[in-house]
Amino acid sequence: MATGFSEYLSDVQSNLNLDVREEREVIRELLAHLEDRSHELVANGLSETEATKNCLDMLGSARKLAREIYQSHSRANWRQTLLAASPHFIFGAVFALNWWQHVLGMFSLLLLVLAAVVCGWYRFKPKWLYSWSSYSLLPVIGVSLLLLWLPQGLAWIAWPVYISFTIWLINYLANRSRSRDWLYVSLMLLPVPTIIAWMLVVQPGSAAPDYAFSKFGSFAPWVGLTFMAFAVGAAFFMRARRRWLKGSVLVVSGLLSLTMVIIYARGGLGLTAIIGLNVLMLALFLAPALIDRRAKQS
């Protein structure tokens, strides 16, 4: 392969943001095209250098080509869109209709989610997998709930360990998902700040479990509504073609859900908590991008 082609194709590949298999296929097709065109030009009397330059001029800017090819691939079909929105919709319905109190049902639902995630993760990592993966993080968030009941002395040790583990887990997931656009990892992490916000509103550590349980019951329909907002956000995300639009959908639906929590909590969240949750949301949105960038640079 001519050096000019190699540099150009590597520039295209680094801007494609598709999954690895799709990227390889696109590059293979473009290389075949460049070779065909180059052979024809050389046969017509051009030098190798002139032919290479002419070929690359005909394809135009590598970044523009990569962006347009990305947009051709980025819109999920309706089946994938429905599958991506469905976990948020299911959890939304569970809370909105107050079915969350059926322990067996909730346990079965979590098992279903875990089965879907494991199945998807080890097979093709389909686009819809990432919104299902959000709910496989529920046990991690659940542990933080248990930590609230720890005696004061133990909490000082447990919380740093827990936070370190959570950061490691996010880093691990982002690295494992590097074959896919980092925006999908952000989609996966999107509900985390809202779930934490609801937990802070209920404040289970400050009261008896029965009280927290009944307090949560009064908020459950609103919790359901925030999950429904995620369902709509996930559907828009899957159908959007442009990257900036996908990113904007994530930020807007994250902020919208947090705003809904703040409104429904009616003063249940302090200013520090509100600022902290917004910072956490932005950090979770941007962390996969930074991890991806660092990995590409290295």
Partner 1 sequence: MTGKKEWPQGSIEPLLLTMVFDRAMYGYQIIHELETRSDGYFKIKEGTLYPVLHRLEGEGYIVGEWKSLDNGRQRKYYHITRKGRAYLAVKRAEWRQLLAAVTMLTRIPLLDME
Residues that bind partner 1 (CB under 8 A): 25-26, 28-30, 32-33, 35-37, 58-61, 64-65, 68-69, 71-73, 75, 77
Residue 73's alpha-carbon distances to 23, 115, 126, 238, 242, in angstroms, are 10, 27, 13, 11, 10
CB-based burial label for 157 (10 Å; 0-12, 13-18, 19+): exposed
Of 65 and 281, nearer to partner 1 (C-beta) is: 65
Least distance to partner 1, CB of residue 19, Å: 14
**Cβ distance to partner 1 smaller for residue 7 or 68:** 68
Least Cβ distance, residue 71 to partner 1 (angstroms) = 7
Taking the complex as a whole, the smallest distance from the CB of residue 191 to partner 1 amounts, in Å, to 28
H/E segment holding residue 91: helix 78-96
Q: Which residue has the tokens 């925006």?
A: 183
Compute the least distance from the CB of residue 18 to partner 1, in Å: 10
CB closer to partner 1 out of 27 and 147: 27
Burial (0-12, 13-18, 19+ Cβ within 10 Å), 1: exposed
If the CB atoms of residues 13 and 257 are measured against partner 1, the closer one turns out to be 13
Closest approach of partner 1 to the CB of residue 78, in Å: 11
Q: Which of 243, 176, 186 is nearest to 20 (CA)?
A: 176
How far apart CA 214 and CA 204 sit, in angstroms, is 11
Nearer to partner 1, 72 or 179 (CB): 72
